[in-house]
Amino acid sequence: MSRLVIVSNRTPSTGPAAGGLAVALRKTLAERDGFWFGWSGKLSEQPPREARFEEVDGLTVGKIDLTRQDHHAYYAGFSNSILWPAFHLRLDLTTFDGQWYEGYRRVNTRFAEALRPHLKPDDVIWVHDYHLIPLAAELRRLGARNRIGFYLHIPFPVADTLFAIPHHLELMRDLSHYDLVGMQAQRDIVAFNEFADHQAPLSLSGDPLKAVDFSKTIVEAFPIGSDPDAFARLAVSPAANKMVRRMQRAMDEQRLILGVDRLDYSKGLPQRVEAYEKLLANNPQLRRGVHLLQIAPPSRDTIKEYQHHSDQLDAMCGHVMGRFAEPDWQPLTYVKRAYGQPSLAGLYRMARIGLVTPLRDGMNLVAHEYVGSQNPEDPGVLVLSRFAGAAEIFEDALQVNPFDTDETAEAMRMGLSMPLEERRARWEGLMRAARTHSVDNWAARFLDRLGAMAGRARQRNASKGGMPTIARDVLHLGSGTEQPSAPA
C-alpha cells in the first residue's frame, strides 16, 4: 500500500487529540505507513529550511518553523482575514492588505520545499484546508508527480464573492493542480461549478471566459462527520456523569438549551442570543423553566473582528440577563472556555435542545456530536441552521434560517414541547445519518477515491510536464489583474 502523507497547517502534539477530526486522521495514519507534515507552532528569526521529524504518540511528524512576519501574513492575514470571512460570505469582515498574499505564497513554498525531499514517487498526499490551497502547485513546480488530494473544511463561496478575493484566479489555478478536491456539501460543488463554468463575471454577450482548465481535477462532496457511537459511550462515562451531576444541581427542573461553538462570527451567536430573548419575551410561561448554556472559547483573538464580535456577544448576554434575570433565576450562562469531550458529551445528552445555528458553516461537527450523545429513550431536539453543511445530512432536525430570529425562537418553542414519540423518530433518522457519515467513513471514502487515481498519476508521470494545461480560449480575464501562467 502507498504511504500516506497528511499535510495541515498545524501538526498533532502529544496527548489526546482535541477533536474528532484529529482523532480520525491519526487513526487513518496509524493504519498505514507515512507521516504528518505541517507547522510546528514555533516562530523563530531564522528558521531552518529543512523539516525535522519526530515521533508523536506513535506517528511520524515532520515540522517546520516560520518567521513571525511570514506566519502573521499567512495565518492571521491572508488565511483568516481574507479567505475565512470571504468563504463564509462575509466580505464586510475582510481586511485587504497586499503584502499578506506574498506571505501566504511564501509559506506554501516553504512547506513544499521542506516536504519535497521526503516524498517517494508513490506517496499519496492529502492536504487540508484553505491555508494550503497553493501547496500542490508548489510541489508540482518542484517535480512532484504524486497523487495529491485537497480537502476544504469550510464552505466554497458563491462566484460573486470569489471574484472579490484578491488573486482568486491564481488560487483557483492552484486548485487545478490537485487530482482530487473534496468539499463538505453539494451546495459547495454547485458554487464551484458556477465558477468553473464561467470564471469571470457574466456579461450579456459572448461565451463564458475560462482561464483555468479543471478537466484533470475531480471535485466532489465528501461530507465529514464525527464518531457518533464513541460519543454515545462517552456521554454515559463517569467523566460525563460528573459534569451532568454538577449541572443538575444548578438546573433543578429547568430544561437545558445548549450551544457549543468556537467564538467565531460565522457561528451566529448574536442572532442565537436574540432568538432566545424572543423565546422568553413571547412565551412568559417558559421563564424559570428553561436555561441557555452557551459555551464559546475565544479563538483567533488577535484579529480585531473577533475581538469586536466577542464584545458584542458579552453585551447581548448582559442585556438578556438584565431584562429577564431575577434574584433567584438566571436565563442564561455564558462560558468562554473549552471543555474536554466527555464533559461536552454529558452536556449534549442532558440538553433538551441542541442549538446549532451558524450563519454559514462547512459542516458543523457539534451537530454530529449532539446527535451521537443523545439518550435513545428520551432524546433531545436538534435545532439546526440550514446554512450549515450538516443541513444536507440531517433532514430530521428542526431546520431554521438563523438570520430570522423569530423562526429560531419558534423552533426552540416547538422543540421544548415536542412529544416523546416525535423526538424519538427524528433522532433515529439523525443517528442513522450520523453513522452513515461517520468520520471514519469520510476518511476511507476520500482516500479510496484518491487511491483509485493511480492511472492518472501514471499518465502524469508519462506526460512531459505533467501540469494541468491552461485553456487556450481565454479572450481576456474578468478582473484584468491576472494572466494565466504558461503551462510547464
The residues assigned a catalytic role are 153, 361
Smallest gap from residue 268 Cβ to ligand ADQ (A): 12
Question: 264 with 306: CB under 8 angstroms?
Answer: yes
Among 220, 233, 300, 339, binds ligand ADQ (CB under 6 A): 339
Among 85, 223, 362, 402, binds ligand ADQ (CB under 6 A): 362
Contact between 402 and ligand ADQ (CB under 6 A)? Answer: no
Residue whose C-alpha cell reads 451566529 in the numeric block: 268
Question: 419 with 463: CB under 8 angstroms?
Answer: no
CA–CA distances in Å: residue 370 to residues 122, 133, 333: 40, 31, 19
DSSP E strand stretches across 207-330:
218-221, 255-260, 290-295
Among 4, 11, 12, 20, binds ligand ADQ (CB under 6 A): 20
Among 135, 154, 290, 332, binds ligand ADQ (CB under 6 A): 154
Cell of 340: 474536554
Smallest gap from residue 247 Cβ to ligand ADQ (A): 15
How many binding residues for ligand ADQ (CB under 6 A)? 21
Question: 184 with 224: CB under 8 angstroms?
Answer: yes
Among 21, 317, 371, 431, binds ligand ADQ (CB under 6 A): 21
The answer for residues whose C-beta is within 8 angstroms of residue 243's C-beta and 6 or more apart is 339, 342, 343, 346, 347
Smallest gap from residue 476 Cβ to ligand ADQ (A): 36
Contact between 22 and ligand ADQ (CB under 6 A)? Answer: no
Report which residue's Cβ sits closest to ligand ADQ. Answer: 362
Binding string, residues 295-314; x marks residues near ligand ADQ by CB under 6 A = x-x-----------------
Residues 189-208 within binding reach of ligand ADQ (CB under 6 A): none
Burial-class residue 176 by CB neighbours within 10 Å (0-12, 13-18, 19+): buried
DSSP E strand stretches across 140-269:
147-151, 180-183, 218-221, 255-260
Smallest gap from residue 368 Cβ to ligand ADQ (A): 8
Contact between 361 and ligand ADQ (CB under 6 A)? Answer: yes
Smallest gap from residue 334 Cβ to ligand ADQ (A): 11
The number of CA neighbours under 13 Å toward the Cβ of 84 is 19
Smallest gap from residue 365 Cβ to ligand ADQ (A): 3
Question: 380 with 280: CB under 8 angstroms?
Answer: no
Contact between 364 and ligand ADQ (CB under 6 A)? Answer: yes
Which residues contact ligand ADQ by CB under 6 A? 19-21, 153-154, 224, 260-262, 295, 297, 338-339, 344, 361-366, 369
